[in-house]
Amino acid sequence: MVASLTSIAALLALVWPASAFVKPNVGSSLQARTRGVRDAAPASAPRLSMAAGPTVENVAAVVLAGGVGKRMEAGMPKQFLELQGETVLEHSLKLFLRLKGVSQLILVLDEQYRPMLQDLQKREGRLVFADPGLERQHSVYNALQKVEDGSSLVCIHDAARPLVTKAAVKKVIADADEYGAAVLGVPMKATVKESADGQFVQRTIDRSRLWDIQTPQVVKPDLLRRGFDKVMSERWEVTDDVSIVEQLGLPVKLTEGDYTNLKLTTPEDLVVASRILEARRLYEAEHGTGDDDDDEDEEEGRESISQIRANERWTNQPRPIGSAPEDEKESISQIRANEKWVEGSPGSANSYDEPMVNLSKMRANS
């Protein structure tokens, strides 16, 4: 892992300038963007060899894509920004469509953006939509109502984490199958200090017992439902999915993931994520993915995505950013200044303060 991070750091040092940032392009043909592209492999041999054992069947995957991404300052929801030729959302959808054992894919997405994915839904009977809620726990609750009877696990993932690897997802699913609940995470590396007033250090916290939690977070459906019953009846507030299981007093397995499983929050995160994907693909070109067990399932997933709106542009949506020549490079500041959605359109900068969809599934701004 240390060698992997060192190689990625070296690459970042060479290609860090923000001028290399690729402008988002929701309008590009998805067929051109996805044909023949394998999912990203980690940039280290040890991680490529990680095995999760037999495939767990009947997994309901939930992808949370209901946020508006205020801190990204892109004038559009961050899940539709482009990252290495594909939208941020596509990276997660592609992973789960190619993953053996996933019988259902529940996408938490506001209804105003769903026309972008109508063709995919027609081709993929596994794909269903759920409404975003006012808070994360409400979105997960809405998705839980869509989980089919007979599902073995609910695998909940943030669309804002497009760098998660198939190997890591398979491992956390296997751990949840064994223990009932599992969550991806990495040991805390940063020094953590506590402050009572936000002005002065109160104490330094021992990081040896601290983990930085990521997604996916995977829970057996019955545990998640029992947890939500308690959360709703006692009006608890929980900040992540496995916290619901913690409230039941049940164990949650920590599955060690990768430090590269970043959550995209700021424009700078997009630059870092782009370079990590580039490093992975360079490694993959030389060494392969090391994940041949899913070739048949992966091909099915690739074909499902590659046929979406073939030779078309996404329609019935505000155009966040138009196509640009491949050699055109713009800095983050130029994107902020020049590439905004139409003023007043859904998802535009001046509509960020409007709530999306509440728990009762009524549109707050309709």
Number of domains in the chain: 1
- Computed from CA positions of residues 100, 106, 111, 112, in that sequence, does the dihedral angle turn out positive or negative? negative
Strand partners, 353: none
Is 333 part of a structural domain of the chain?
A: yes
**Is it the case that residue 359 has pLDDT exceeding 80?**
no
- Computed from CA positions of residues 270, 290, 185, 209, in that sequence, does the dihedral angle turn out positive or negative? negative
Q: What are residue 153's phi and psi, to 5 degrees?
A: -145, 155
Q: What are residue 82's phi and psi, to 5 degrees?
A: -90, 140
SS3 readout for 22-46? CCCCCCCCHHHHHCCCCCCCCCCHH
What pLDDT, in 10s, does the model give residues 188-241? 999 999 999 999 999 999 999 999 999 999 999 999 999 999 888 888 778 789
Is 8 part of a structural domain of the chain?
A: yes
Is 232 part of a structural domain of the chain?
A: yes
CATH code of the domain in which 171 resides: 3.90.550.10
Long-range contacts, stretch 43-47, CB < 8 angstroms, 24+ apart: 43/4, 43/7, 43/8, 43/260, 43/276, 43/279, 43/280, 43/282, 43/283, 44/1, 44/3, 44/4, 44/7, 44/283, 45/287, 45/290, 46/1, 46/4, 47/1, 47/4, 47/165, 47/167, 47/258
Name the residue type at position 114: R
Alpha carbon distance 93, 352 (integer Å): 25
List the structure tokens of 95.
Answer: 């992973």
- 85-96 in b/e burial notation, b at 16+ Cβ within 10 A? bbbbbbbbbbbb
Is 365 part of a structural domain of the chain?
A: no
What Cα–Cα distance (Å) separates residue 356 from each residue in 46, 135, 353, 363?
Answer: 42, 10, 9, 7
At 66 the pLDDT is 83
Other Cβ atoms less than 10 A from the Cβ of 290: the count is 16
Is 76 part of a structural domain of the chain?
A: yes
Alpha carbon distance 107, 18 (integer Å): 31
Please, how many CA atoms are within 13 Å of residue 187, restricted to the half-sphere of its CB? 6
Q: Show Cβ contacts of residue 91 under 8 Å, excluding neighbours closer than 6 positions.
A: 40, 83, 162, 163
Provide the pLDDT confidence category of residue 343 given band limits of 50, 70 and 90. very low
Is 203 part of a structural domain of the chain?
A: no
Is 189 part of a structural domain of the chain?
A: no
128: enclosing H helix or E strand: strand 127-130
Alpha carbon distance 219, 173 (integer Å): 9
Cis-peptide into 216, omega within 30 deg:
yes
Residue 313: which domain range? 2-181+211-351
Is 240 part of a structural domain of the chain?
A: yes
Provide the pLDDT confidence category of residue 287 given band limits of 50, 70 and 90. confident
What pLDDT, in 10s, does the model give residues 86-123? 999 999 999 999 999 999 999 999 999 999 898 998 89
Range with the lowest mean pLDDT among 176-190, 277-291, 326-340? 326-340
